[in-house]
Copies of this chain bind each other. A is one copy, B any other.
Amino acid sequence: MAERLIVIGGDAAGMAAASQARRRRGRDDLEIVAFERGHFTSYSACGIPYWISGLVNDREQLVARDPATHRKQFDIDVRLRHEVVGIDLDRREVTAVDLDGGGEVREPFDTLMYATGAVPIMPDWARTEAGGVYGVQTLDDGSALREWLEADPQPRRAVVVGGGYIGVEMAEALVLRGLAVTLVERGEQPMSTVDPDMARLVTEAMRGLGVDIRTGVAVTGLTERDGRVTGVLTDGGPIPADVVVLGLGVRPNTELADAAGLPLGPTGGIRVDRRMRVTGVPGVWAAGDCVETLHRVSGMPVHVPLGTHANKQGRIAGINIGGGYATFAGVIGTAVTKVCDLEVGRTGLREREARDAGFEFVSVIAESTSRAGYYPGSRPMTVKLIAERPSGRLLGAQIVGWSEAAKRIDTLAVALWNKMTVDDMTALDLGYAPPYAPVWDPVLVAARKAVDALAR
């Protein structure tokens, strides 16, 4: 008789695991059932802001692989709108509720793949029955928001609470839709994933786009009328709004895991080993936004909810479930984003993280250009490097620029991954031609500057 794999969560991590397991084990060997509480499988949550803005027209474009494909091509029994509400590790079964029909089913498993993703951080003040308040984590969330934006009366004023990636991207999306947007950020600046000196450029760009940015302001409540949100209350006064978007970050979705006794780590994510096995729980695997992972620079566990990690981890879990061998090597905190035409990239540790991890370091900022200065379209590019003192080992890097900037962080990410020193980096043989770089690439300019700083 075939063994049975149950997958909880039908997005990137879960379905990558399921399809990889299937590639290695046929249906006679492994039966696969996947429960997904939403309407979609394997979609790009990162694409939601662009669908909200209208840059992407069709919601279906965000779906990489629909349930029908999973069923037909991979022989996976995908059950949409089924929410798993209980895991019994002793009896090896899960309980799921049909969110449309209302019925409850119990399904046994031999192997369990836990991939429930993350949930938006929702402060008490945000819990309301009133319409117009949205987290943006799932495609269903995005659909609800878009419906609200298109319904009568059409919202004209938006407040985005929180200036992380999602907050910043959603602010831009709402501006592009024609709304007047206020972004409220409790900290000193939006985009705290880079250091304040780099984030400043993001703030300027967003202001240039017309976003009203209020920093150092905390939201304390909502105002409502007739079942609709009418604004937010803050410690700096009320701000009217027809729609409120929460961009306060996400946390691992682990309620179910916790109840079942799966181990959670200090970040709140599920603890897994290198093969994506839940630590100490035989036959149970986890991957994606619900787990914590190793930061290769700090050596500490981190929670980094990002589609690219979810896909990699899911694939690795699936290879192992399928009888192969693969390990997840950890992350170094690489991330890129686009704010209007401004491109932002980071990798490794930012200053505060480096300090928290106990490193001594120097940091330098180098101004350069995307292309040879004389070549048309050459734009400013700022590269920041953080290097351990005295070793010179690269600990972190950030890039902000106006064109062809963000993905250059990959060059620095690979250098950092390989534990290069900034001195070694000055020797790197990087591509040079006037349409692409000055004769001293911005990365090399920054590395030289870091070497000088270390020598002082």
Residue of chain B at shortest CB distance from A374: B61
Given contacts A408-B410, A411-B410, whether A46 and B306 have CB atoms under 8 Å apart is: no
Q: Is the CB of A44 within 8 A of B311?
A: no
Contact with B along A364-377 (1 / 0, CB 8 A): 00000000111110
Contact with B along A407-421 (1 / 0, CB 8 A): 111110111011010
Partner of A406, one of B306, B373, B433: B433
| Most chain B CB inside 10 Å of its own CB: which residue of A46, A333, A435, A437 | A435
Q: How far is the CA of A413 from the CA of B311 in the complex (A)?
A: 25
Q: Is the CB of B428 within 8 A of A414?
A: yes
Copies of this protein in the complex: 2
Q: Is the CB of B375 within 8 A of A336?
A: no
- B residues near A12, Cβ cutoff 8 Å: 439
Q: How far is the CA of A61 from the CA of B219 in the complex (A)?
A: 52
Q: Does A429 contact B (CB under 8 A)?
A: yes
- Show the binding face of A for B, using Cβ within 8 Å: 12, 44, 46-47, 50, 55-56, 61-62, 64, 306-309, 311-312, 328-329, 331-338, 343, 345, 347, 372-376, 404, 406-411, 413-415, 417-418, 420, 424, 426-437, 439-441, 443
Q: Is the CB of B333 within 8 A of A429?
A: yes
Partner of A418, one of B332, B334, B376, B420: B420
| Most chain B CB inside 10 Å of its own CB: which residue of A333, A406, A443 | A406
Other A-B contacts than A47-B375, A306-B432, A414-B415, 9 sampled, CB-CB below 8 A, are: A47-B374, A62-B374, A308-B429, A312-B427, A333-B429, A335-B432, A407-B436, A409-B431, A410-B410
Q: Report A141 CB to chain B, min CB distance, Å.
A: 17
- B residues near A337, Cβ cutoff 8 Å: 433
